[in-house]
Chains A and B, each alone.
Chain A
Amino acid sequence: MKRSFVLILALAACSLSCNREAPDATKSSKPTVALVLKTLNHPFFVDMRRGAQEAADRLGVNLQVQAAEREIDVEKQMQIVENLIQTGIQALAITPSGSREIVSALVKARDAKVPIVVVDTRVDEKAAADAGVHTETFVGSDNYEGGKLAGDYLLKVSGGKARVGILEGIPGHETGDSRLRGFRDAVKAAPGVSIVASQPANWERDQGFNVFQNMLQAHPEIDSVFACSDLMALGAIEAIAAAGRTGKIRVIGFDALDDAKKAIGEGTMAASVAQFPSEMGRVAIESAVKVIRGETVPAQIKVRLELVTKENLQ
C-alpha cells in the first residue's frame, strides 16, 4: 500500500512539471508537428531542435520533440513514434536511428495517415518501397559530398602524399557510410595517398581516443586522420596529444562542432565539414507545415555544406 502512496507522490510531482510543458493539442486549433530525434545528447541534434523550435514558433504550430536516450536505439525510437501517433500529431519529422529498421515505425505513421518528413539520415529506399511507405521529403546534407569535400581538402594540403587513418561511425549507418565513400572516392585517384587503417569508433569521443591510440601503435607512420564525426576526431586529438605528436598529424572531422572549431583555432585540428543542423530543423518543420496545408514539397531538400578551416573560421 505504501508503495502506491509514494508512486502517487512521485507522479504528482512529475505531473506538475509535465503540465507546464505539455502543449495541449486538444484545446487549441494549432496543428502539432512531432520531431523525433536520434538522441538529444549530441550538440548536432540540440542545434536541430533549436532551429525547429524557432520555425515552429514563427509558423504558429505546436512542436513535440522526443528522442531516444541512445543514438542507436531503434526500438526505443519506434516506441516514441507509436506513442506520438496516439496523441494525434498532424505530421512527423524524424531522424532515423536506422535506415532500414525505422521503416517498421513509419508503417505505423502511414497507417495513421501521418505525413512523414525525413531529416538528416535517409530511409532505405528499397525497404520503404517494399513496405509501401511514402515519405514527403528528405531534408539533409549530402554526406557523400561532405566526405568528398574532406578528401579534396586533404589532397590539397598534403600535396597528394599522405598516410591516412580513418575513424568510422557505427557500421551499417547510411550517414557514416556515405561520408566514408565520399572521402575514399576523393583520395582514390591520388597514388601518393594510402589509407593504412580504417576502424569504427561508433561516433563516440572516448572510442575515438582509444581506437586512434591503438591505430597509432600499429601504424606510427600515420600523418592524417579523417574522422566521420567531430566527436571521434576530438577523441583522436587527445590520443595524438597523449602520444606527444600534437600538430604533426592532420585531423579532419565532420560536423564543425563548437569544440572542433576551437581546436581548429588552436591548430590541433586542420578542418571540419560543417553541416547546418539548425537549418535542417527549420526546413524540416517548414516542409511539414506545407504538407499539412496541402502544399507540395520537393522530394529532396539539400542543406548546404561548408569546409571550416583556420582561414575561414569566424
Chain B
Amino acid sequence: MHARQFGTLIGLAVLCAILWILTPYFLTVSNLLNVAEQTSINAIVAVGMTFVILSGGIDLSVGSIVALSGVVLGVSLKSDQPMLVALVVAALVGLACGLCNGALVSWGGLPPFIVTLGTMSIARGAALLYTEGRPVSGFDAGFRALATGRAGFIPAPVIVMLLVYLAAHFVLTRTTFGRYVYAIGGNEEATRLSGVAIRFHKTMIYGVSGLMSAVAAIILTARLNSAQPIAGMMYELDAIAATVIGGTSLMGGEGSLGGTLVGALIMGVLRNGLNLLGVSSFLQQIVIGGVIVVAVLLDTILKRRKST
C-alpha cells in the first residue's frame, strides 16, 4: 500500500539531489525553511483536496474560499474584534462554504465538478463584493506572528502545516469517519448498502475541505499582511496537482496524506529550484506541467499493471 508513496518520496529526494548538484544555494538551512514556508499554504489546501479526491469527488472552489475567508478575516481584524473571534469567524466561513458544497453534492445529487465550479464563482464574487474589490491591509504584530513567528528556527506556517497534517492523518487513519472517506471513494454503493450514512459523511468531507481553505487563508493573510479578494486564484489546480503527484487516485479510494505532503513539497522544491537556477518563468511553467503529467502517467501505468 505504501509502495507508491515511497516512490514519490524517492522522487523528492532525487529532485533535491539534482538541485544540490546544480546550485550551491539550494541545500542551506535558510533555503529549506524558505521552501517549507512557501509550501505550507498549498499543502494545507491540499489536505482538504485529498479528503475530497479520496472520496471520489473534486473541489474546484478552494481558491475562492481562501479569498472569501481571507477577506472576512481581514475585515474582522480591522474592526477591532479579538483575534480569536476573527480566526473563528474565518474558519466558520470556510466550513460553511464547504458544507454547502457537500450538501449540494450529496442531497442535491449534483456532480461535484459542477457544484464546486459554481461555488468557485460565487465565493469569489462574494469576496469582491464584500470588499468592493479592494485589499484589506495592515494588521497588528500579534496576528502577523502566525506567518512571521518562529518556534526555535522553524517558521510558524510550517508548524501549523505539520499540526494540520498530524491531525488530518489521525482522522483519516484512526477514525471511522476516515475509513468511510476511503470506503465512499472505493465503492459508494457498497458503502451505502452496508448502512453508512453516505450523505452526512460526504457533506462533512467537503466541510473539511472548506475548513482547510480557511486555515490556508489565515496563513496567507498573515504572510502578505493583507487579505485580497483576488487571492487564491488557481490554488485548486496546485492542490489537485500536489494530491495527484502524491499518489492519490482521481478515481477515489486510494491515496494518503503523507503522499500529498510529499507532492506539495515536490511542487514547492521545483518552483524554488527553478527560481534559484534563474530559469525563465515561461520554461518553469512547462517543467511544472511536465512533472504533473508524468506523475499521473506513472500512476495510471502502475494501476494498469496491477490489474492485469
Contacts of A79 in B (CB 8 A): 38, 271-272, 275
* Residues in B neighbouring A40, C-beta threshold 8 A: 280-282
Is the C-beta of A178 less than 8 angstroms from some C-beta in chain B? no
Question: How far, in whole Å, are A82 and B30 apart by their CA atoms in the complex?
Answer: 10
Q: B290 to A10, Cβ gap below 8 A?
A: yes
CA gap between A78 and B224 in the complex, in Å: 8
Contacts of B24 in A (CB 8 A): 26
A7 and B291 contact, CB distance less than 8 A:
yes
Partner of A21, one of B8, B233, B278: B278
In this assembly, does B171 line the interface, its C-beta being within 8 Å of a C-beta of chain A? no
How big is the A interface, by class? 35 or more
- In the bound complex, residues from chain B placing their C-beta under 8 Å from that of A3 are 7-8, 10-11, 294-295, 298
Stretch from B93-101, B108-116, B134-142, B200-208 contacting the other chain: B134-142
Hey, which chain B residues are within 8 Å of A70, CB to CB?
A: 233-234
Nearest chain B CB to A3 CB, angstrom units: 4
Interface contact A7-B15, CB-CB below 8 Å: yes
Does chain B have a CB within 8 A of A100? yes
Among A18, A66, A74, contact of B228 (Cβ-Cβ < 8 Å): A74
- In the complex, what distance in Å separates the CA atom of A72 from the CA atom of B234? 12
Give the dominant DSSP class at A's interface: helix
Tell whether B226 is near chain A: CB-to-CB under 8 Å: yes
Q: Is the CB of A101 within 8 A of B135?
A: yes
Known: A4-B7, A79-B275, A87-B276. A22 touches B138 (CB 8 A): no
In the bound complex, what is the Cα–Cα distance between A211 and B274 (angstroms)?
A: 37
Bound CA–CA A17/B283 (angstroms): 10
- CB < 8 Å neighbour of B18 from A15, A23, A200: A15
B132 within 8 A of A: yes
Chain B residues, CB < 8 A from A131: 225
State whether B287 touches A4 (Cβ < 8 A).
no
A103 and B139 CA atoms in complex are apart in Å by 13
Say if the beta carbon of B41 comes within 8 Å of chain A: yes
Query: Is B133 part of the binding interface, using a Cβ–Cβ cutoff of 8 Å?
Result: yes
Q: A6-B298, A75-B220, A170-B230 are in contact. Are A69 and B281 (CB under 8 A)?
A: yes
Given the complex, which residues of A lie within 8 Å of B301, measured CB to CB?
A: 2
Q: How far apart are B249's CB and chain A's nearest CB, in angstroms?
A: 14
Chain A, range 1-37, C-beta contacts under 8 Å to B: 1-4, 6-8, 10-12, 14-15, 17-19, 21-23, 26
Question: A21 to B137, alpha carbons, bound, how many Å?
Answer: 38
Partner of A172, one of B133, B271, B290: B133
Distance A175 CA – B32 CA, assembled complex (angstroms): 35
- Write the chain B residue with the least CB distance to A79: B38
Bound together, the chains give a CA A12 to CA B17 distance in angstroms of 12
Q: How far is the CB of B261 from chain A (nearest CB, A)?
A: 16
Q: Is the CB of B275 within 8 A of A80?
A: yes
Q: Is B31 an interface residue (CB 8 A)?
A: yes
When distances are taken between beta carbons in the complex, the residues of chain B under 8 Å from A17 are: 279, 283
| Binary per-residue interface labels of chain B (254-284) against chain A in the complex, 1 for a CB within 8 Å, 0 otherwise | 0000000000000000011011111111110
- A–B complex contacts, Cβ < 8 Å, 16 sampled: A4-B13, A7-B291, A7-B294, A11-B14, A14-B287, A15-B18, A15-B22, A18-B279, A21-B280, A22-B277, A75-B41, A79-B271, A82-B34, A82-B38, A100-B226, A104-B223
Q: A7-B294, A66-B281 are in contact. List 17 more A-B contacts (CB 8 A).
A: A4-B11, A8-B18, A10-B287, A14-B274, A14-B283, A17-B279, A18-B22, A18-B278, A22-B22, A67-B281, A79-B272, A87-B276, A101-B224, A104-B147, A104-B225, A170-B133, A171-B132
